[in-house]
Amino acid sequence: MKPDFSKGLIPAVLQHWTDHTVLMLGYMNEEAYEKTLEDGVVWFYSRSKERLWKKGESSGHIQRVKSMTLDCDDDTLLIQVEPVGPTCHTGTKSCFGEEPASPLLSLEAMIRDRQADADEGSYTNYLLGKGLDKIAKKFGEESFEVVIAAMKRDREELKNETADLLYHLFVLLHEQGVSINEVEQVLHERHSKKNNFKGERQDVENW
């Protein structure tokens, strides 16, 4: 059922589709609603700019739509989204709190921004320019460094090497077009399965 726009703008609440954090409140007119359906990312009507506004049009932190639900009066939308980077313009995950965005999401956004900037001095762009073979090789090397640090029981080295490993993993995921939210969803689905952690055998599908 379509929202009731007879009274003008309607409020639209954005909620994270996996952890259910309330991210922000915006307003839609009928055109913004139709654009959201068409593009699969959230559009609002900006009351200050008096025009349509795609969330993340400047920062790149768009909100990918997973589902939309109307309230009982058909005049308020609850939109489940997959955020790309921080939702709030202040850099926080939500506009309703000071919690910073996940460092992993920030890392993902940084890699995307480096590619968009086309900075030749960027190590990220160097790796992406070299392609999959170079990226995969570096990821393998960093994996081995993590193993060495663990075998040495060197906590500081292990933390640093793990940070390097995660960076190269995220570059690899970016090159393959896979977002961290997609990985988190796989983990969420596995965690939700019944009988997890039971029995002697704990394979990938049933931790």
What structural domains does the chain harbor?
A: 10-83 (3.10.20.810), 103-176 (1.10.287.1080)
Measured distance CA(140)–CA(147) in Å, rounded: 11
Q: Which two tokens stand for residue 194?
A: 């019944």
Measured distance CA(55)–CA(46) in Å, rounded: 10
Measured distance CA(167)–CA(175) in Å, rounded: 12
Q: Which two tokens stand for residue 43?
A: 């559009």
Residue 52 clears pLDDT 60, i.e. is over it: yes
* Residue 101 pLDDT grade (very low, low, confident, very high; cuts 50, 70, 90): low
Residue 80 clears pLDDT 50, i.e. is over it: yes
The pLDDT of residue 204 is: 52
Residue 88 clears pLDDT 60, i.e. is over it: yes
The pLDDT of residue 200 is: 43
The pLDDT of residue 192 is: 65
Measured distance CA(16)–CA(95) in Å, rounded: 12
Measured distance CA(83)–CA(60) in Å, rounded: 10
The pLDDT of residue 61 is: 87
Residue 174: HSE in the Cβ half-sphere, 13 Å Cα cutoff:
27
Q: Decide: helix, strand or coil at residue 21.
A: coil
Do residues 142 and 165 make contact, with C-beta atoms less than 8 angstroms apart?
A: yes
